[in-house]
Amino acid sequence: MRLLRKQYLRSLLAVLLVMAAFSLSGCDMFDKEEEDGDNVLYVYSWGDYLSEDVIKQFEEETGIKVVLDEYDTNESMYPRIAEGAEAYDVLCPSDYMIDKLIHNNLIQPLDYNKLPQAKANISKDFFEQAKAFDREGRYTVPYCWGTVGIMYNTKLVDEPVDSWQILWQEKYRDSILMQDSARDAIMVPLKILGYSMNTTNQAELEAARDMLIAQKPLVQAYGVDDIRDKLSSGEAALGVIFSGEAINLMKSNPDLRFQPAPKEGTNVWIDGWVIPKNARHVENAHKFIDFMCRPDIAAANFEELGYSTPNITVREQVEEDLGEYVDVAFPPENVYKGQESYSYLGEALDKLYTKLWLQVKVN
């Protein structure tokens, strides 16, 4: 009995020591989190969407360390935010995804009094445009915008590229690249068929799916970032890309050209800065968003990335260096006027789009 008692006491002591160690470790973690509260910022954004030099300058000017995670689609980003597995401080989703985040109470209103650079330098037209998905105008600072278009290689394509239908031509078999994204892929046949890219009609969506399945034997690859590499190297003749990728691609390969708005219509998108509901460093988040709207920072970021910006100060700073690419970076009104933007269609339609896209990929 005494032996059992001694063994019990030893076991109890061991458990208490382990608990004490965890307690001390927890205290250290808590202290570190409190310490980090003043000098860290967790950012979750698209890949290749922030200049490293700009991030470094923000860190040097503010003393705030930026921890950056990246995603390749809105759909891969959303579950991490919805599940609350990570407490990010700043996100950069697209229009319809911002709408979804607002709808599901996953982001918080911004304090625009802490965003003087945003109020001064971001075009009021884009703040108005953003009300299509941020209806109260409380959650978003527009960051980049553009269209979804067709990049093509003039050595491999010798005809006008003004229609999405070229992506269904047999002569380009195994030389066509499509976006690996339900909304961006399904949008293309919807526009060919004359339907809205925000349709909720299941028959129309199924017709778009059937077109994509019929196109599949012609497609070399469905991708995201790798589409740029394949176009730049001449591995493919045509690819569906975002307009912001066009300038750097054309600089990398002079045989490439870009059609920003096929005649059937396309998506005009806006990506914007938002702050998640569970952000721990809200003050730092506001500092970062406002920093990104500063004229010199917006210009430096644009010059490296090439994505069109709603910052009204940038064109004057970079126009001379852009030369022939100025209309790609700052397209004339006829390119985007009257075009649709994606809307959040609700959970049921989200699931239907995903289901139909999976059917394309497995068939």
Average pLDDT, the chain: 89
What is the per-residue pLDDT for 363?
87
pLDDT in tens, 120-134: 999 998 999 899 899
Query: Residue range 55-70: average pLDDT?
Result: 98
Given a cut of 90, is residue 240 above it in pLDDT? yes
Per-residue pLDDT, 191: 98
Report the candidate in 29, 35, 37 with the shortest Cα–Cα distance to residue 284.
37
* Stretch 77-90: mean pLDDT: 92
- Whole-angstrom distance, CA of residue 309 vs CA of residue 316: 12
pLDDT per residue as tens digits for the range 194-203: 999 999 999 9
Report how far residue 248's alpha carbon sits from residue 203's, in angstroms, rounded to the nearest whole number. 39
The confidence score (pLDDT) of residue 15 equals: 40
* Residue 289 pLDDT > 70: yes
The domain defined by 40-145+269-336 carries CATH number 3.40.190.10: yes
Chain-centre distance for alpha carbon 177 = 19
- Label residue 24 by pLDDT band (50, 70, 90): very low
| CATH class of residue range 147-267+345-362 | alpha beta
Question: For position 242, what pLDDT does the model report?
Answer: 92
Contact predicate 274/356, CB 8 Å: no
Name the token pair of 215: 């196109």
User: Please, where in the chain does CATH 3.40.190.10 lie?
Assistant: 40-145+269-336, 147-267+345-362
pLDDT beyond 70 at 303 = yes
In the 3-class helix/strand/coil scheme, how is the chain assigned residue by residue?
Answer: CHHHHHHHHHHHHHHHHHHHHHHHHHHHHHHHHHHHCCCEEEEEEECCCCCHHHHHHHHHHHCCEEEEEEECCHHHHHHHHHHCCCCCCEECCEHHHHHHHHHCCCEECCCHHHCHHHHHHECHHHHHHHCCCCCCCCCCEEEEEEEEEEEEECCCCCCCCCCHHHHHCHHHCCCEEEECCHHHHHHHHHHHCCCCCCCCCHHHHHHHHHHHHHHHHHEEEEECCHHHHHHHHCCCCEEEEEHHHHHHHHHHCCCEEEECCCCCCCEEEEEEEEEECCCCCHHHHHHHHHHHCCHHHHHHHHHHHCCECCECCHHHHHHHHHHHHHHHHCCCHHHHCCCECCCCCCHHHHHHHHHHHHHHHHC
Mean pLDDT score, 246-268: 95
Contacts of 24 (CB under 8 A, 6+ apart): none
If we measure between CA atoms, which residue out of 341, 284, 223 comes closest to residue 64? 284
> Is a pLDDT exceeding 60 seen at residue 23?
no
Question: What pLDDT does 166 receive?
Answer: 98
- If one counts every other C-beta atom within 10 angstroms of the C-beta of residue 16, the result is 10
What is the rounded CA–CA span in Å between residue 108 and residue 124? 21
- By mean pLDDT, which of 3-7, 125-129, 279-283, 327-331 is the weakest? 3-7
pTM: 0.79
Q: Could you give the CA distance from residue 275 to residue 139 in angstroms, rounded to a whole number? A: 8
pLDDT band at 180 (very low <50, low <70, confident <90, very high): very high
Residue 58 has pLDDT above 60, yes or no: yes
Quote the pLDDT of residue 8: 37
Q: Calculate what percentage of the chain has a pLDDT beyond 90.
A: 77
